[in-house]
Amino acid sequence: MTVADRIAAFRAAFEEWLRGLYHGMITHPAYEKIEKEAEDAEDEFMLACFPDAFGIPSPVSYYTAELLPYLEDEFEAWERRLWDRESLIERKGQQYHF
């Protein structure tokens, strides 16, 4: 086996690996599900930290208010997303195929 053949074999194996990596990270349908689950977990965390934003009294709000400067950008997007009830209901309905 010559050096050129070995390089060609390595390139072919590397291209196949890159194709699989791209498929797994970008194009696979499970990617969307994983992304939605991560967003749901983030929503639950934000709701546990800042329930006062929706009128739910919480005794730990004084302590979680210290997190607000660190979560400012995420807080605005989260609040906007949760106030849009239609998209939230649609999204949960898609999860259960309604």
- How many structural domains is the chain composed of? 1
Tens-of-pLDDT digits for all 98 residues of the chain?
Answer: 799 999 999 999 999 999 888 877 776 777 777 888 888 888 888 888 888 877 888 888 888 888 888 888 888 888 787 777 666 667 777 777 65
Owning domain of residue 21: 3-96
CA proximity to 61, closest of 50, 70, 71, 72: 50
Q: Could you tell me which residues come within 8 angstroms of residue 61 by beta carbon, excluding any fewer than 6 positions away?
A: 50, 51, 52
To the question of pTM greater than 0.75 for the whole model, the response is no
